[in-house]
Structure formats: C-alpha cells, structure tokens
C-alpha cells in the first residue's frame, strides 16, 4: 500500500517567517502534486512536479521533488496571512491520487 506522510500536521507562525512542509513516502511516484484547501472549499492544485530533483517556484512558494521521487517539500518565504490554509500533497497512481493527511498552516498577522 502506498502511503504519503506529511509533516508537520499543524504549524502556526508569525507573518514574515519562513517555513517548510514535508511529504515523504517509501514508494516511488511518477509525479507529485501539491494542493491548497481553504475552509468550506475543495482543494485546488498549486503545482505538479514530475522529474526527480525538479524545483518549481510559484511566487513565494518553492516546491521540490526528491531525486528518488519518493519525497517532496514546500517552502514558503516570508509567509503572509493569505497563505493560511490546509496544504495537501498527492502522489499519482495509475487511476487515482494517493493523498497525505495535510498540513494545517496558520499565519498570524
């Protein structure tokens, strides 16, 4: 069974600080996606990483796929209150996505 473990489960920091969220597995995935979910809404895709070692940037968010395609990280620089939400990673299987449990992020002004 493929599993994705996210850490930390919860993070509350002050505006302007940096943070990193991790997504780890013992399985290899063909790609890994990061989603953000706001209260009362469904998850929305932020980025897909496909190649081992790949780095993608989305404004202040940096996503990296591990060389072995078993893990990924999300780094936020100078976090803002608008970054508050639940961040989910998902690994691509043949017919379905394998989901991590999520990291709940709160950025305090």
Instruction: Provide the binding-site residues for another protein, judged by CB under 8 A.
Output: 6, 9, 30-31, 33, 35, 40-45, 48, 50, 88, 90, 92-97, 99-102
Q: Which is nearer to another protein, 16 or 28 (CB)?
A: 28
Q: What angle do CA 17, 65, 9 make, to 5 degrees?
A: 50
How many CA atoms are closer than 13 Å to the CA of 77, on its beta-carbon side?
A: 7
Q: Which is nearer to another protein, 9 or 80 (CB)?
A: 9
Minimum separation from the CB atom of position 81 to another protein (A): 22
Please name the residues in contact with 39: beta carbons below 8 A apart, sequence gap of 6 or more. none
């Amino acid at each position: 069974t493929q599993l994705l473990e996210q850490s930390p489960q919860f993070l509350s920091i002050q505006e302007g600080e940096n943070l990193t969220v991790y997504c780890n597995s013992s399985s290899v995935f063909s790609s890994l996606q990061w989603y953000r979910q706001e209260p009362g809404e469904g998850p929305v895709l932020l980025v897909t990483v496909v190649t081992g070692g790949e780095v993608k940037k989305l404004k202040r968010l940096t996503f990296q796929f591990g060389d072995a395609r078993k893990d990924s990280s999300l780094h936020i620089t100078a976090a803002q209150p608008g970054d508050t939400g639940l961040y989910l990673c998902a690994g691509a299987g043949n017919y379905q996505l394998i989901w991590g449990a999520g990291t709940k992020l709160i950025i305090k002004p």
